[in-house]
Amino acid sequence: MDCIFCRIAAGEVPAEKVYEDDRVVAFRDINPQAPVHVLLIPRTHVESVARLEDPGLAAHLLQKAAEVARSLDLEKKGYRLVINHGPLAGQSVFHLHIHILGGRPLSWPPG
């Protein structure tokens, strides 16, 4: 299996990392949709949120998403966390990732 996000987590593909620990990695999106656009991924390969079966990892991801957002100075003005699953949502990389978006007004409902 050749997964680009597994390779980023392993350090085999360069990425602008903003946080990492033994379970997760956060790095800047290559095609940012907001002034701050970071992706947070588990190191282990999980195809999508629909395949996330480890409640400990789920909690860690959510907690770290908020922590990374705070470290990027997004907490006061606000930010959005997005997880796309499947074709209608436009999931294009099949390794679970949380988009952390901020730095501009984010319209609602999302497109």
Task: Give me the active site residues, please.
Answer: 97
**Residue 55 or residue 87: which is nearer to ligand AMP going by CB?**
87
Q: Which one, of 48, 51, 44, lies nearest residue 10 by Cα?
A: 44
Instruction: Tell whether residue 90 is a contact of ligand AMP (CB under 6 A).
Output: yes
Decide: residue 57, CB within 10 A, 0-12 exposed, 13-18 middle, 19+ buried: middle
The site that binds ligand AMP (CB under 6 A) totals a number of residues, namely 11
**Residue 8 or residue 74: which is nearer to ligand AMP going by CB?**
8
* Dist CA 3 CA 17 (whole Å): 17
Part of the chain binding ligand AMP (CB under 6 A), chosen from 57-65, 73-81, 90-98, 100-108: 90-98
**From the list 10, 21, 30, 44, which residue makes contact with ligand AMP (rule: CB under 6 A)?**
30
* Cα separations in angstroms, 49 against 30, 35, 78: 21, 25, 23
For residue 107, give the DSSP letter. Answer: -
Q: How far is the CB of 30 from ligand AMP (least distance, A)?
A: 4
Q: How far is the CB of 33 from ligand AMP (least distance, A)?
A: 7
Q: How far is the CB of 32 from ligand AMP (least distance, A)?
A: 8
* Dist CA 11 CA 76 (whole Å): 32
